[in-house]
Amino acid sequence: GSISANSNFKGGPISGGLTSFITKNYKNFIWFIIVSVLFFILLIFLIDIRPVIDRFGELSAAARIKVWKDCIGIITDFHLFGSGLGTFKYIYPLYKENLKTAVDYNYAHNDYIHLLVETGFIGLSCLMAGLVMLFKDSIKYLRFHFKTSNSFGFFITLGALSSVVSILIHSLADFNLHIPSNALIFTAMIGIIYGINSGNDSEDTIKVKRVRKTRIRQSVISED
């Protein structure tokens, strides 16, 4: 459960790393990676992780992997459209081979595998396409704010994007987005990214406006 356990501490390093990448300061980006690794190593020694171990002790990392292996059979049989939304807890017991326990599992403890089981490659492809669009738009917005020195828009967008990335990382080892509060935060962060940037002109639009202003000035000067 190390991925899941450390997810709450990723917001700061993610924000710093995204800032360096977006502003094309790759030297700082490398330093952020090094510092982040050292930071997480330090956390292991300084933080009392017993409550975290108790929280995730019900399903160890080895048990998670066994659940994911069992899901391969479901994905093979329902690879295109999946078994149907909300059917994991019913269909998983029929394919459970690697995990020898009587405990019932309602989730795959990996949101992506869970989605693949229930909606197939069609559903997972839709999610991936949406995330690609989200990150592409977010980077465009952040670079726009950076170039126009709009610190408010830059850091609000950066903070929301960092939250989204943290939740997505957390989802690699838990049923994160099946928890209503987390799903609500995830949706709200995406809404903030698009909401705060809905009135912004794109770089192309700004260039067109500059050209128009230049032409108007030139026409006024020529008339004089």
pLDDT in tens, 149-203: 888 888 889 889 988 998 999 999 889 899 999 999 999 999 999 998 887 655 5
Dump pLDDT digits (tens) for 42-93.
655 555 555 555 555 556 778 889 999 999 999 999 999 999 999 999 999 9
Show the tokens assigned to 151: 């610190």
How much is the pLDDT for 199?
Answer: 72
Q: How many other CB atoms are there within 10 angstroms of residue 22's CB atom?
A: 21
Domain membership of residue 38 as a residue range: 2-223
- Give the Cα separation of 197 and 160 in Å (integer): 12
Instruction: Note whether 49 and 40 are within 8 A (CB).
Output: no
- Domain count within the chain: 1
User: In what helix (H) or strand (E) does residue 45 lie, and over which residues does it extend?
Assistant: helix 26-46
The CA distance from 222 to 218, in Å, is 6
Cα first-last separation, the chain: 74
94-145: pLDDT as tens digits:
999 887 776 788 999 999 999 999 999 999 999 999 999 999 999 999 899 8
> What sign for the dihedral angle of Cα 99, 101, 105, 107?
negative
Average pLDDT, rounded, for the chain:
78
- The SS3 of residue 172 is coil
Q: How many CB atoms lie within 10 A of CB 154?
A: 21
